Amino acid sequence: MKTTPGVRGIVIADRDGVPIIRVNDETVPETVMRPGFLSSVGFATEQSSKLGYGVTNHIISIHERHQIVHFNIPPLILSVIADTECNTGKIWKLIRLLARV
């Protein structure tokens, strides 16, 4: 997290949204870490594929104070929570590095 300015948390969860590994600072809302929120990513990627858009590998959402980038790496979901001002391209690069591990 320290290598990418603005990143506030990283979560690796299973398809059911159960966090396997998570690290975050105090600015990350607890609701972002809940299984119900994390599992919605898997559901959303499956549904978008059914709409004829092809396979969805990632979802980027921007909320009031945070942006969340979810990356679908079956059977896991990798989520990075960052400030809205954080460079999304740098988050994308961080996720690609973490996905190889």
Tens digits of residue pLDDT in 49-61: 788 878 888 889 8
Task: Using CA atoms of 85, 67, 97, 87 in order, give the dihedral in degrees to the nearest 10.
Answer: -20
How confident is the prediction for the chain on average, in pLDDT? 86
Residue 69 has pLDDT above 80, yes or no: yes
Residue 76 near residue 13 (C-beta atoms within 8 A): yes
Residue 83 near residue 90 (C-beta atoms within 8 A): no
Question: In this structure, what DSSP letter does residue 28 have?
Answer: S
Show the tokens assigned to 88: 């999304």
Task: Using CA atoms of 24, 26, 27, 32 in order, give the dihedral in degrees to the nearest 10.
Answer: 50
Helix (H/G/I), strand (E/B), else coil: 40? helix
Report the alpha-carbon distance of residue 47 to residue 55 in Å, rounded.
10
* pTM of the complete model: 0.85
Predicted confidence at residue 101, as pLDDT, reads: 67
